Structure 1
Amino acid sequence: MTAAPTPSRPSRPSRPIRRARARGPHRLNGPVLGLALALGFGAAGPLALPAAAHEITAGSFEIIHPMIPLPPRGAKTAAGYMAIANEGDTPDTLVGIETAIARRAEVHGTQMDGTVAKMQAVPRLEIPAGETVLLEPGGLHVMLMGLTGPLAEGDMIPATLVFDRAGRVEIEFMVDPADGGGAMDHMSHGN
């Protein structure tokens, strides 16, 4: 008698990963790259997302686990992270983020000035055809400024990504544990 074969999980198709070093000040280096790899973003794409990870598919876009690490009580700012995969043949550009949980939401990049990390708004983020852009700690990220209410672990926060070509894509940020997202200190950002 022979053993039954073990079912295998289908693997995700591989696609190029565009890290936050694409242009200008959005560079990943040693410690930051190590943190990104520890969080499950590697050269082959998201490797080990949290058990409650979620994805949103809209047209040729796949938005992988949009999440906000739980900010400290009373915080006026928070950061959001995700991977945006463009499975299509045409590049697109992320031009806006809307959510009722913050008075302002923008993509920011991190630029190191010696040992000081400085945040800079990125008004237009290109998502090349056939590639994945990572918004992750130490690189590009969503900056939520002027939080309009408290966040709790497990909350699902509605938001809209606005693209030049694809238009409006509805997503939900999952509020993850504070230690699960490698959150940076965003307390210096204004409301």
Structure 2
Amino acid sequence: MRTLILGLTAALSVTAAQAATYRLGGLEVDQPWSRPSAAGANGAGYMTLTNRGAASDTLVAVESPAARKVEMHRTTTDGGVMKMQRLDSVLLPPGKAITFAPAGYHVMLIGLAKAQKAGDAVPATLVFKSGARLKVVFAVGAGPTGGAAATGAKAMEHMNH
């Protein structure tokens, strides 16, 4: 019974953390999450990033003490072959949302300092060309269900970052 209660508590805390929305000016980050990963391995971060401002901005970096290095990537499929490309920046047009999800844009957490297990939180700072710096927390768990975040999840399970 105690194990069941602890499991339910962890599941509820992940769900609550996944529902988090972070705002700074016209920038909004919704539901940042990451899957469980082993220490020393690579992890990935997902979220929806919306520019509610009147002018474009650009995500130029993501920083996290949880990983040796952090990069932005985009996975594409060309002729049935999945390819992953490192990005120097991601443009955020005004009034638009960019979804970071499996099999699309994502944040690579390279060389995790410790294992990430369900219920953990991975701190990060999103750095924008405008100079804005937005602190977020990636909730470790299964991620949001349905929608763009779930699209391509099975294909990404077999990719070794």
Q: CA deviation at 1:74?
A: 4.9
Of 33, 48, 63, the match for 1:67: 33
Distance in 2 separating the partners of 1:187 and 1:138: 10
Q: What is the CA–CA distance in structure 1 between the aligned matches of 2:39 and 2:133, rounded to whole Å?
A: 30
Instruction: Give the percent of matched residue pairs that are identical in Structure 1 and Structure 2.
Output: 37
The change in CA–CA distance for 1:179 and 1:129 in structure 2 (over 3 A counts) is: closer
Output one character per residue of 1:114-173: Cα deviation in whole Å (capped at 9) or x when no partner: 333111011110001111111111111111111111112111211000001142111111
Which aligned pairs between 1:104-143 and structure 2 lie closer than 5 A? Answer: 104-143=69-108
2:134 to 152, 158, 169: 169
User: CA, structure 1 residues 144+130, in 2 after alignment: closer, same or farther (shift >3 Å)?
Assistant: same
Q: 1:149 to 1:83 in 2, by over 3 A?
A: same
CA contact (8 A) 2:33 2:143 kept: no
Paired residues of 1:79 and 1:186 also in contact (CA < 8 A): no
Q: Who wins on radius of gyration, i.e. which is larger?
A: 1
Q: What residue is the counterpart of 1:46 in the other structure?
A: none
Residue 84 (structure 1) aligned with residue 56 (structure 2): no
Structure 2: segments with no counterpart, 5+ residues: 1-13
The corresponding residue for 1:188 is 160
Q: Between the two structures, name the one with larger relative contact order (CA 8 Å, sep ≥ 6).
A: 2
Residues 56 and 95 of structure 1: CA distance in aligned 2, closer, same or farther (over 3 Å): same
1:55 and 2:41 equivalent?
no
2-structure distance, mates of 1:134, 1:168 = 19
Q: Which residue of 2 aligns with 1:97?
A: 62
> Which TM-score applies when normalising by structure 2?
0.77
5+ unaligned residues in a row in structure 1: which ranges? 1-49
Q: How many residues align?
A: 139
TM-score with structure 1 setting the length: 0.66
Q: Contact conserved, 2:35 with 2:116, CA < 8 A, in 1?
A: no
2:3 aligns with none
Measured on the aligned residues, the alpha-carbon RMSD in Å equals 2.2
Q: Per-residue displacement from partner, 1:84-132 (whole Å, max 9, x unpaired)?
A: 1111101000000000111111110112243331110111100011111
**Higher helix proportion:** 2
Q: Contact 2:40–2:113 (CA<8 Å) still a contact in 1?
A: no
Task: Summarize the Cα distance change of 1:131–1:103 in structure 2 as closer, same or farther, 3 Å threshold.
Answer: same
Post-superposition, which runs of at least 4 consecutive aligned residues in structure 1 deviate over 2 A?
113-116, 177-183, 185-189
More deviation, 50-59/115-124: 50-59
